[in-house]
Amino acid sequence: MKDAAPRPAKERFAYGLRLNQEWLAASDEADAADHEARLLEELKKITLSELVNRSPEASVAKAEHWARAHEKYREAMEKAVAARTEANRLKARAEKLHKDWETWRTMESSRRTELRMTAGI
C-alpha cells in the first residue's frame, strides 16, 4: 500500500500554526477560568467566616456547623466547585491541544530528517 501524497509545505505550516494558536487561546481561557475558580474559593472562605461571626451559636464548633449548613454558604460552595470543575476541564483541553501541537512538531521534524537522509545530506 502506497502512502498518501505529502501535503504541500504551505498547508503543513498553516496546520501547525493553527494548532499553536488554538493551544495558546485554550491556555488563556484555562488561565482565566483558574483565576475565577481561585477567586470563588477564597470568597467561599470569606462567606464562611462572615456566617460564623453572625451565628447565634455560643461555641465556635457549633457556629461553624451552623454556617456550613447556611444556604448562603452552600451557594458559595456550589459556585466554587462549578468554577473549579470548568477550570479543570479547560486546562485538560489546553494540555491536549499542546500535545497535539508537539506531536505535529515531532512528525514534521521526523519528515525533514527523513528527507535529508534520502537526499544524502
Q: Examine residue 78 and state whether it is found in any structural domain, yes or no.
A: yes
Q: Examine residue 21 and state whether it is found in any structural domain, yes or no.
A: no
Question: Mean per-residue pLDDT for 46-54?
Answer: 97
**CA atoms of 77 and 63, how far apart (whole Å):** 17
* Number of domains comprising the chain: 1
Q: Examine residue 72 and state whether it is found in any structural domain, yes or no.
A: yes
Q: What is the DSSP string of 33-56?
A: HHHHHHHHHHHHHHHHHHHHHH--
% of the chain at pLDDT higher than 70: 93
Q: What is the DSSP string of 83-120?
A: HHHHHHHHHHHHHHHHHHHHHHHHHHHHHHHHHHHHHT
**CA atoms of 90 and 86, how far apart (whole Å):** 6
- Residue 92's pLDDT is 98
CB hemisphere CA count around 80 (13 angstroms): 17
Q: Confidence class of residue 1 from pLDDT cuts 50, 70 and 90?
A: very low
Q: Confidence class of residue 2 from pLDDT cuts 50, 70 and 90?
A: very low
Identity of residue 72: K
CB hemisphere CA count around 116 (13 angstroms): 7
- Residue 6's pLDDT is 61
Q: Examine residue 40 and state whether it is found in any structural domain, yes or no.
A: yes
Question: Mean per-residue pLDDT for 30-36?
Answer: 98
Q: Examine residue 101 and state whether it is found in any structural domain, yes or no.
A: yes
For the chain, give the mean pLDDT.
Answer: 91
